[in-house]
A = this chain, B = another copy of it.
Amino acid sequence: MTAFSFNKLVIFGVGLIGGSLARALRERGAPGPRGTVIGVGRSAASVERARELGVIDGVAALGDDAQLRDALAGADIVLLAAPVAQTQPLLTRIAPFLDDATIVTDAGSTKSDVVAAARAALGPCIGQFVPGHPIAGRESSGVEAALPDLYVGRNVVLCGLPENSPAAVARIEAMWKATGAEVRQMSVEQHDRVLASVSHLPHVLSFALVEQILEGPDADLKFSFAAGGFRDFTRIAASSPEMWRDICVANRAALLEELDAYTAVLARLRAAIDAGDGATLEAAFARSRKARTEWQERGGKVAAGASPAK
C-alpha cells in the first residue's frame, strides 16, 4: 500500500464502487490529513444516504449549477462511477466547471466507448481524463454494500491516453494503489478484448442458458432439478439487466468477435458429441480442466466475502 493524500475528491455516483473507494482512502493506511470527499448525484437526496453513513463529507446535486461549481472547485480528482452510458452527458455537464489541475477518471467496464464519449465532451481537455476500470464488484450494490477493502488484491486497469501527462496517470495509479489494488496498464483495445472474453461473454452465455430453459418445455421441472453446477454457472445471470445491456452495446465489436470464436468452438464440440467422438471431447475437456485448475492455483480464487460480480 502506498501513501496517498488528497485535498478534495469528487465522486459522481456513490454506490458500491465509488463508496468503496471513499471508504478505502479514509479507513485504510496510516492516519494523516484527511481530504474532503464530495458525492454528486442526480439529486442531492440520492447521495444523502452516503453522507449519513459517513462515507462522504458533502453532497451536491448534479442539476444545480452553484452546487456543482462548488463541488468541483479545487478538486484534485473526479471519479465517474455511474453507468457507462452516462459518461458523455456527465462529462458535458462537468466540463464548464472543471479546473485545469483536476484529473478525471472513471470506473466503467468498457473503455472504447468511454474514451469516445470523453473526447466528445472534453475536447481539448481530454488530457485531463485518465480512463480506468477497477475490476471488482459484489453481488450486492449500492453504498450500503461499500467496503473499505473491496479493492485489496484486485486488478485496476488504467488505459492511459496519448494526451495524458505521465504525472496524471501516476496520480490515479497512486490513488488505486492506496486502496490495496494492483494497477495494470493496457491499451483501450486490449482492455475491451480481454474483458469481452473473461467477463462480458460469460455473462451473455449465462443469461442465454436461463432464457433457453424458460423458452422450452418443462421449465419448472428443469429448475427443480438444477443443482450446484447450474447455480454457479448462472449466478451472473442474476446481474443487472440495464448494466449488461449497456456493456453489450458499448463493447459490441470486441464482444461479437469473442462470441463468434466461442460459437465455432461449440460447433466443434457439437460435432464430436454427434459423432460419439469421445477422444476429441476428452482431449478438449482435459485441456480446459488443466487450464482452469492452474488458473485457480495461481490465485484465481478470491475470498468468498468479497466475491466480484463482474
Contact = CB atoms under 8 A, between A and B. Distances in A.
A259 interface: yes
A69 to B, nearest CB: 33
Interface in A150-196: 154-155, 157, 190, 193-195
B229 A236 contact: yes
Given A194-B222, A225-B198, A244 B300 contact: no
Interface in A116-149: 135-137
A307 B286 CA distance: 22
A266 interface: yes
Interface in A256-278: 256, 258-266, 269-270, 273-274, 276, 278
| Size class of the A contact interface (CB-based, 8 Å) | 35 or more
Contact of A230 (B202, B274, B286): B202
In terms of DSSP, what is the predominant structure of the interface of chain A? helix
Contacts of A212: 197, 258, 261-262, 264-265
B273 A238 contact: no
A301 to B, nearest CB: 7
Interface string A202-234: 111111111111111011011111111111111
Given A197-B222, A222-B197, A229 B270 contact: no
A226 B260 CA distance: 20
A236 B137 CA distance: 22
Nearest to A299: B224
Pick from A215, A238, A244 the residue with the most CB of B within 10 Å: A238
B249 A302 contact: no
A199 interface: yes
A204 to B, nearest CB: 6
B296 A238 contact: yes
Contacts of A238: 289, 292-293, 296
Contact of A208 (B136, B249, B265): B265
Given A205-B233, A259-B273, A263-B263, A225 B291 contact: no
B237 A309 contact: no
Nearest to A193: B218
A282 interface: yes
A102 interface: no
Contacts of A137: 228
Contacts of A71: none
A164 B119 CA distance: 73
A284 interface: yes
A229 B273 contact: no
A217 to B, nearest CB: 9
A227 B298 CA distance: 12
